[in-house]
Structure formats: structure tokens, C-alpha cells
Amino acid sequence: MQATVSEDLELIGRTCREFADRELVEGREERDRYPFGPPFERTLEKAFEVGLFSIMLPEEAGGSPDPVGTLCVILDEICRVDASLGGIVFTVALAQELIHQAGEPKAIKERTSSGGGCEQLLTAFPSFTDRCEIERSTALRAVGANGDHRLEGLAEYVVLGGMARRALLPARIDGGDGWSLFMVDAGGDAVRAGKPVLSLGMHACPAVDLELAGAPGRLIGEAGRGAGYLEAAADRLFVAIGAMASGVMKGSFDTAFDYAKERVQGGREIVGWSEVKMLLADMALKVKLADMLVGEAARAVDRGAGGWTLASRAAGVCVPEMARDVTSNGVQLLGGNGYMKDYGQEKRFRDARQLQTLLGSSAMNRLAYIEKVVGGEPAC
């Protein structure tokens, strides 16, 4: 995003790059073994201290005047080293955006005015699901009325569900239409977290199933409006998924390029081989295209420019697909070493695949894109 960011965002980018190099490089392979390895706990506190969890808050609560662009710069730099922390930052930002879309400033103030560390801002949410999937499969019921709701049932694949103190969960109110959003005390006696769900990539971005048995839930926004809130939040934050994928691509290219300059075969560095140059060229071109696409889309979202919704969604769908190809080349270029954990290329390949499921599958997000075009938004 270097070509499209302001001086302020460049400074934020440098700060995040230094943070990532200092905190995420060492121990990356060990964290990728989670839940059989250590979690991010110490790193999360440091991420909180540098403001990574407050970007989408209102300005008066410490948020950014250009929240989406700032979030994209942060995610780009973080995911260059480890996409797992990027997934955590994205989930927290998504929960904050949902609360904002629901028109609940009081809920945000309560979380930022009472002090505490990162646990005050961490909020669990099933960020790998989309609106349609929730409508089809949500098994969580809200019983009660007039602000007194009890949630019962199972919430599946809740990111940060076993770590955050609060969870923002979709549930159906008995007798009502659609689904609603509820804030729940994730550490309460009526909430039981299952074992960590094993995923293809982003292992240290933990997700669990939550079983609720009459857990008190605070309604966020209006009853039955959850789908609309999620759709509006997704419109703004799809570009952030593209930023995460862009960071993964850059990390893969950096490693492949450095390796090609150092690896000697047949008496010369392999970077001089035409086949290797073609692979590197393909990677470099896609990295540059992704960088420009994410940067322009993020600026369009923050400025409310014409077509910003489709720009954001296009970045969120297309850049992860480009990352899939780039990380595949990154593994191939290192030969057998590409499959070893020492270089991080196989992890980036898995992470790129996992990114394609944020806010729903790539196929469903493509259909959602064309539905907006059919609904009247200009495609070009």
C-alpha cells in the first residue's frame, strides 16, 4: 500500500513493521503448533499497547480518522510475518464495526472507559461465517423479551471464544424474524468453551465452539437486524481481508527472493536462472497489483467515494485468490525447503487458503458481489 498511503499511515506502517519483526518472527513456528504450542497472550498485551485493537473505535475513544485505511496498513505489515495475529486483529475490528453499525455507542464506551488491558477490547465473534450461513445454520436461540434475554444452544467456530471475556454472537429470538446480535459474558458460568477447533491455517488465531445454557445476553441494536449489520460491516471490511492476503504475499515473495539470491546450484545463484526469474516475476507482479488494489479500495471506503462497496469486496475476494497462487510459487521456488517450517513458506500457503474463508467462502462472496451488481450498483 506504499504508493497510496499518507505520511501518517507510513509512520503507522513502520511502527507495525518494527513490532512484527520484534514480536512475531521469533517463535512463529512454535505458535503455529497451537493448541499444542503456546498462545499469543504476551504478544496480545503488547499489541494492545501499540493500539492495534482500537483502530475501528470512534476517534474520541482512541480510534483513527481513517479507520479502514489504517487497519489495512496494520494488517498488511502484521500478516507479512504472521497472519494469525492478523486474524485476531481483524476479528476485534469486525466486532467493533458491528457494534458501530448497530448504533450502540454506549457499548463501546463501556469497553473503553473502565481501564484494563487488551482483554477490555478483545471480543469473540464467528468471523469465518457470512450472513447467509448464519441464517441457514445458527443453532443459538434467545429466550425472553424487554432486554432480558437468555441464550441457549451452540455457537460454532467462534474466533477468540476461549480467550476473550466477551463474545458477540448471532442468535434467533423465539417468535421473531431474522437473527439478532447479543453481547455475552464468554467467561460466565452458563458458557462452556469446547476444545480449540483445528484449522488448515492461522493456527494461533484460536476458534472454539461455545455451548450456552441460559447465558444472559445483551441485545446489540434492533431485534432481527443482525443480517443487515453484518452486511454493512462486511462492505467496509472486505478490503481488510485483502490487506491480510497482501501481507502474506509480501512475506512469501521476500523469503523466496532472498533464498534465490543465496542458493547456489550449478555454480551460480539460482536467481540467475530463467525459470526462477519467471516464478519471481509472477509473484512480484501479483504483489504489486494487490498492493495497489487494496490501497485504492481502502481510500475509497474511508472517503465514501462512488463504488466503494464493490471496490472493497473486489479486494477482499480477488487478493486472497492471488495470494493462493503467490504462496504456491513461494513453496515451489524453495524446492524441498519450501515444505519445511524453518522458512515459513508452507505456513503462508496454508494461511492464504484460510484467508479465503473469512466472512464466508470465496464462492459465496462472489455470488454476493454479483447480487449487488444485479441490485443496481454499477460494475464498472
Residues 91-128 have pLDDT tens digits of: 999 999 999 999 986 666 666 655 667 888 999 999 99
Contact between residue 41 and residue 117 where contact means Cβ atoms under 8 Å apart: no
pLDDT for 109? 62
209, 255: one domain: no
Q: What percent of the chain has pLDDT over 70?
A: 95
207, 242: one domain: no
pLDDT (tens digit per residue) in 37-96: 888 888 999 999 999 999 999 888 888 899 999 999 999 999 999 999 999 999 999 999
232, 369: one domain: yes
pLDDT for 5? 61
pTM, two decimal places:
0.95
Q: How many distinct structural domains can be found in the chain? A: 3
- The DSSP code sequence of 103-170 is T-HHHHHHHHSS--SGGGT-EEB-TT--HHHHHHH-EEEEEEETTEEEEEEEEEEEETTTT-SEEEEE
Whether residue 1 lies inside any domain: the answer is: no
The Cα 244–Cα 266 span in angstroms is: 37
Q: What number of residues does the chain have?
A: 380
Query: Given a cut of 80, is residue 314 above it in pLDDT?
Result: yes
Final residue of a domain: which of 224, 243, 273? 224
CA 364 to chain centre: 17
pLDDT for 6? 78
Three-point CA angle 320, 164, 215, nearest 5°:
115
CATH number, domain containing residue 316: 1.20.140.10
Q: Per the structure block, which three cell numbers stand in for 58?
A: 470512534
CA distances for 173 relative to 151, 229, 237, angstroms: 9, 16, 27
pLDDT for 63? 86
Cβ count within 10 A of residue 14:
12
Q: Which domain holds residue 127?
A: 123-224
Lowest-confidence segment of 6-10, 262-266, 313-317 by average pLDDT:
6-10
pLDDT (tens digit per residue) in 142-178: 998 777 899 999 999 999 998 999 999 999 998 888 9
The Cα 345–Cα 162 span in angstroms is: 28
pLDDT for 111? 62
Final residue of a domain: which of 120, 148, 183? 120
Residue 226 pLDDT level (bands cut at 50, 70, 90): very high
pLDDT for 272? 94
pLDDT for 38? 83
pLDDT for 108? 67
pLDDT for 120? 83
Residue 1 pLDDT level (bands cut at 50, 70, 90): low
pLDDT for 179? 94
- Residue 99 is given by DSSP the state H
CA 177 to chain centre: 29
Q: Per the structure block, which three cell numbers stand in for 109?
A: 464506551
Task: Share the mean pLDDT of the chain.
Answer: 92
Nearest 5°: phi and psi at 100?
-65, -45
351, 252: one domain: yes
Stretch 302-310: mean pLDDT: 96
237, 153: one domain: no
pLDDT for 8? 85
